[in-house]
Amino acid sequence: MDSFSVSQSVSGDVAVMTIAGRVDSLTAVTLESELTKVMKEYKKIVLDMKSVEYVSSAGVRTIMKVLQSTQKSGGGLKLASLSNTVNEVLDNVGMTQFVKTFSSVDEAVASF
């Protein structure tokens, strides 16, 4: 199993969170904690998911919570660089109706 990690960079007024590994019931707690910290300072967040191999229902819940919180604060959440597998999971659960996806981080950042 590959290790899970979350790292942050900033592009203007947008926080870019790079996620790697599996987002499941064990790692979704860490992801939510990291994103909650970031939301205290940034209203606009891009999740760079190019190295995410898998997203479980717990991961989907975490992404939805962050989406709702950022929207309530006048910001937003965008997803970038999804693998076909992760995109298919998010599409199957209807998430792509609520959160915009982009092929690159630069495109997602520019969309704000």
Instruction: Quote the domain boundaries for residue 96.
Output: 5-110
CATH code of the domain in which 21 resides: 3.30.750.24
Q: pTM for the full model? A: 0.93
Total structural domains in the chain? 1
Chain segment 43-72, per-residue pLDDT in tens: 999 999 999 999 999 999 999 999 999 999
* 32 neighbors 65 (Cβ within 8 angstroms): yes
Model pLDDT, residue 41: 94
Given this model, what pLDDT does residue 2 score?
Answer: 59
Instruction: Please state, rounded to an integer, the average pLDDT across all residues of the chain.
Output: 94
56-112 per-position pLDDT tens digit = 999 999 999 999 999 999 999 999 999 999 999 999 999 989 999 999 999 999 999
**pLDDT confidence of residue 1:** 44
Tokens in use for 52?
């995410």
Neighbouring residues of 37: CB distance < 8 A, sequence distance ≥ 6: none
Q: Is the pLDDT of residue 30 over 80?
A: yes
